[in-house]
Structure 1
Amino acid sequence: MFDDFYGLQARPFQLTPDPAFYFESLTHRKALSYLGYGLAQGEGFVVITGEVGAGKSTLVAYLMATIDPAQMTVANVVTSALDGDEIVHVVAQAFGLQVAGHDKASALGAIEAFLHEEARAGRRCLLVVDEAQNLSVSALEELRMLSNFQLGSQPLLQTLLLGQPEFRETLLQSEQLEQLRQRVIATHHLAAMQPDEVQAYIEHRLTCAGWKGRPGFDPAVFAEIYKISGGIPRRINQIVNRLLLLGAVDQRTRIDGAMVGQVLDELEDDGAASLVSPPHDIGNEPVVLADVAQPVEGRRL
């Protein structure tokens, strides 16, 4: 509705990841550097963590769009609570393999044969595992075992693990994952955007959708959105979506602070306020919200 009213050619604040709208904030730039370094090594594990909605999937989608399928075969897995046997079958399916029977040995054999075929054809293989915090320790150990497959001295599989902050803690603290930790070659925690990046983020996504300056935004709106959202991209998207919808309904060509307050009231009434704010009450002092998801430098584990 609002896209027609404002003359937009796409939905600029959709919640599903779209690499066409990728915005390189400081934390995303760092994450992309670590990803690039890790993938260049061609082995082991690369770990990216971040709050829900921080942009992990969008970052990876942007990176995947730059990969030549003639050089690399990529399989994507979004995990639920899987054990060791289950993850092996899920990985086989992600690479498009048909496994006769349901035993783990058959699945492992199919994966190894496939990885050998890809290597002989000159292609590397990358496994992207999203929501890695849902995996059991046994499933993570099976992923480590898959990283042992080699053709001569050439590793056959590299794995990118994406997870929420608790996955980072599990990986760092679990005594059972020491061998996996030793295989991690790069890691980065995707933090919230900085206050001065919110305006650029919103305007970037609008511009990607054909924005010509309509609607305009009062400068104070961006500070309010940061205070509410804590700088998390998906929360920002939800707020701005509601603002644009309200603006279209009320035939407004400029978004102001009063409209932000009205949107917050509506979200409270709908019971959806928690979707756009960190786990603090709306109305807390800005410093509290700004402390959500402080940057953590990427480093080797």
Structure 2
Amino acid sequence: MSIEKLQAHWGFTAMPFRRDLPAASLLRFAAHAEAAARTRWLIDQHAFGVLTGEVGAGKTAAARAATAGLDASRHTLVYLPNPAVGARGIYNAIVTALGETPRFHYSSLIPQAADVLAAESAERGRQVVLIIDEAHLMDTGQLEAVRLLTNADMDSRSPLACLLIGQPTLRRRIKLGAFAALDQRITLRYAMPGMSEKETKTYIAHHTALAGRADTLFSDDAAALIHQNSRGLPRAVNNLAVAALIAAFAAGKSIVDESSARAAVTEVATD
């Protein structure tokens, strides 16, 4: 089976449930809208925040939506998709993003990062927005390195807005006594829930409409089954919906019914 045949069968102009949608095309379900609004507030306030949620909850998509409209003349976005770069890598990324060559020795790299952050604001009039994804993987040294970055002018202000994005274990780790200094700096905390059943149905319809099918393609029973097994997590909804489309196509059906969705659930569960 080819993608072309699948698209032709359903009358799609493109495959639905893609990850590469522009920010403007993302469905703003309640948790997504809340996370994006809080992230924008964090940026406005030069604050430090933690955004958590289960795998596939849409955390990164919400942050992408929040930063998509930033004015490049007033903001410099530094996005780290993987904290495995270590504490040095975090400082290197900031210094490089702000147009400097990172110093070799770590002891001199730390003040260099502080200097370029201060210069970005004072000399160029731009605010740095640091977003670290998969932050539940950060070690103690990395978390401390980020905390140190938020100090400026004898702790009277923060030279950047910082958002850590991660799984629920991140929120629990920061609450440990060893991270008390970091925990006290966090002014924004939001744990993203999954979508409601109604939102999941709307989400499925939204994505099929973007692909060229504005009519009802998934039956209510199929959508309800997908919601139940995905717990309303967008990435899981995407995977099940695509598998259901394939199952219905293989059976020669004109809509995705409950049996197609059930076949998808079985396939994904045993994948």
TM-score normalised by length of structure 1: 0.80
Structure 1 stretches of 4+ moved >6 Å: none
Q: Distance in 1 between matches of 2:7 and 2:234?
A: 20
Shift of 1:149: 3.3
CA distance in 1, matches of 2:84, 2:99: 21
| Structure 2 CA distance for aligned equivalents of residues 96 and 22 of structure 1 | 32
Report the AA paired with residue 174 of structure 2.
L
Q: Quick one: distance in 2 between partners of 1:50 and 1:17?
A: 21
Q: What is the match of residue 283 of structure 1?
A: none
The equivalent of 1:243 in structure 2 is 244
Match of residue 130 from structure 2:
127
TM-score relative to the length of structure 2: 0.88
Report how many aligned residue pairs link the two structures. 266
Q: Which residue of 2 aligns with 1:256?
A: 257
For the residue of structure 2 that corresponds to 1:265, the secondary structure is: helix
The answer as to whether partners of 1:81 and 1:135 remain within 8 angstroms in 2 is: yes
Q: Is 1:6 aligned to 2:7, yes or no?
A: no
Q: Is the 8 A contact 1:130 1:162 kept in 2?
A: yes
**How far off is 1:91 after superposition?**
3.8
C-alpha distance 224-112 of structure 1, shift in aligned 2 (>3 A):
same
Secondary structure in structure 1 of the residue aligned to 2:115: helix
Query: Cα gap change, 1:68/1:33 in structure 2, threshold over 3 Å: closer, same or farther?
Result: same
Does 82-91 or 110-119 show the bigger shift?
82-91
Shift of 1:153: 5.8
Secondary structure of the residue aligned to 2:151 is coil
Greater helix percent: which structure? 2
Distance in 2, Cα, partners of 1:83 & 1:13: 33
Note if 1:53 corresponds to 2:56.
yes
Aligned to 2:207: 205
Deviation of residue 51 (structure 1)?
0.3
Matched-pair contact (CA < 8 Å) for 1:76–1:94: no
Q: Match for residue 234 of structure 1?
A: 235
Q: Secondary structure at the match of 1:99?
A: coil
Is the CA contact (8 Å cut-off) linking 2:83 and 2:90 kept in structure 1?
no
Report % sequence identity: 26
- Residue 30 (structure 1) aligns with: 34
Distance (Å, rounded) in 2 between the aligned partners of 1:163 and 1:16 = 20
Instruction: Report the CA distance between 1:19 and its aligned residue.
Output: 2.1
| 1:115/1:247 CA distance change after superposition, 3 Å | same
Shift of 1:7: 2.7
Asked whether the equivalents of residues 31 and 194 of structure 2 are also in contact (C-alpha less than 8 Å), the reply is yes
Q: Is the 8 A contact 1:116 1:151 kept in 2?
A: no
Aligned counterpart in structure 2 of residue 175 of structure 1, from 169, 177, 190: 177
Alpha-carbon distance in structure 2 between the residues aligned to 1:265 and 1:150: 58
**Structure 1 residues 1-301: aligned runs within 5 Å:** 1=3, 2-15=6-19, 18-42=22-46, 44-81=47-84, 83-95=86-98, 97-101=100-104, 103-119=105-121, 120-150=123-153, 155-172=158-175, 174-213=176-215, 216-268=217-269, 271-272=270-271
Tell me the alpha carbon deviations over residues 262-289 of structure 1, each in whole angstroms, 9 at most, x when there is no partner. 2233335xx32xxxxxxxxxxxxxxxxx
Check conservation: 1:78, 1:131, Cα contact below 8 A.
Answer: yes
**Aligned CA-pair RMSD:** 2.3
CA displacement, residues 80-131 of structure 1 (integer Å, 9 cap, x when unaligned): 4454444333443455542242x21332243233223321211111100001
Q: 2:233 and 2:155 mapped to 1: Cα distance?
A: 44
CA distance 1:17–1:121, shift in 2 (3 Å): same
Q: Structure 1 residues 152, 191: CA separation in 2 closer, same or farther (over 3 Å shift)?
A: closer
* In structure 1, distance between residues paired with 2:155 and 2:124: 15
